[in-house]
Amino acid sequence: MNKLTLRDLDVQGKKVLMRVDFNVPVKDGVVGDDTRITAALPSINYVLEHGGSLVLMSHCGRPKGKKNPEFSLKPAADRLAELVSAKVTLAPDVIGPEVKALVDELKAGEILVLENVRFYAEEEGKAKLADDATDEEKAAAKAEMKTKQDAFSKELASFGDVYVSDAFGTAHRAHASMVGVTKYIDQCAAGFLLEKEIEYLGKALESPVKPFVAIIGGAKISGKIDVVTNFLDKCDKILIGGGMAYTFYKAQGKAIGGSLVEEDKVELAAQILKQAEEKGVEFLLPIDNTVADAFSAEANVKVVGDSIEDGWMALDIGPKTIELYCDAVANAKTVVWNGPMGCFEMAPFAAGTFSVCEAVAKSDSISIIGGGDSVAAVNLSGVADQMSHVSTGGGASLEFMEGKQLPGIVALTDK
């Protein structure tokens, strides 16, 4: 962690422009799950306790660059006001003279929440291009958007004396509120949440305590190719579950019935299996499967080995595989998990995912859970508090695990 952190900043009497991730589910104007808001509280409270004021930026949903009350940050601001003792004000907009006036009036110990930064197309910086646009028209539109994004970033940056990023969930996006503002503020630091993400994920990938076990699941290989490839050089064991397992089955010439398969990735799956063997990585695939005759919780269900007949589809790992995977996890010292073992949302196919959850929770390992479905599964299983770290970033944690540099981290000030 060679970046400035919030502890390195003197925030006394300063306005702190902070990017948080308040992209929370809202129903009837009320926040359904406030996990992301509570996750930002340590950084928010630190600034308030050390004599600073806060200007918070976040996105919520996909308003596609237009002001849309459905995606207002009002519910998030209201929930924040219930969680802190400070005065919380929601700005009527993201930028503009009215917002600037509210920033200027902000006193130490107070919070101003800007409206949804994605109400402006300049946040994401995507130029609108007609399908029949020429190369010259595309280049001109992109250049115009870059100019607008720079101006938008500069105006946002004018609201803070220092900048803090605590939004790991969007750290893989080179957006105005993540990267653009850092060009106009001298000191740009990581908040406590971002620092924790980098610390856990970074250590697991750079110098993991061995044995290192990766559990990779989910529907498709295509979304996890780079993660698997990156882990082949770091892991002692890789456990594969979810729909992606059956593309590997197909590569081994096994019958998969109606199970999910990516035909265009079968050759790649064969290459990964060969690489694992060459590198001495134990690459575990399901040895038995829970199969159904339809994709439904009401379907007929049975357990079969590693050959699936026509008319049946694998929707979870089987009991022998659960035992095998739990044994592998029990001896691990570092576990990174991304992707469920089956269709855990349906009760008949949840045993694999929840059993592995419990095994990871019981293990004497540094356990890191990344990816939306894995996090949801761990929360549902009730063992989230027994994991070392549950990542707040789906796409960001995935890209970090792939070994990619995240723009929102790179942009922060070096120590």
Active-site residue numbers?
36, 220, 372, 395
Dihedral of the CA atoms 304, 308, 309, 311 (nearest 10)?
Answer: 100
Token look-up 């081994």 returns 252
Q: How far is CA 36 from the centre of its chain?
A: 11
Distances in whole angstroms, Cα of residue 407 to Cα of each of 124, 156, 172, 308? 13, 18, 6, 44
Residues in the chain, total = 415
Token look-up 């059956």 returns 246
Question: DSSP characters for 101-168?
Answer: HHHHH--TT-EEEPP-GGGSHHHHTPPP--TT--HHHHHHHHHHHHHHHHHHHHHHHTT-SEEEE--G
Distances in whole angstroms, Cα of residue 310 to Cα of each of 51, 297, 313? 67, 19, 8
**88-90 and 111-113 as β-strands: parallel, antiparallel, unpaired?**
parallel
- Give the orientation angle of helix 394-401 with respect to helix 192-206, to 10 degrees: 30
Element (H, E) at 47: helix 35-49
Question: Residues near 43 by Cβ (< 8 Å), separated by ≥ 6?
Answer: 6, 18, 20, 164, 166, 191, 192, 193
Tell me the C-alpha distance between 94 and 63, whole Å.
14
Question: DSSP characters for 177-188?
Answer: TTTGGGGS-S-E
Tell me the C-alpha distance between 28 and 72, whole Å.
12
Longest dimension (CA), the chain: 70
CA nearest 248: which of 336, 314, 346, 334?
314
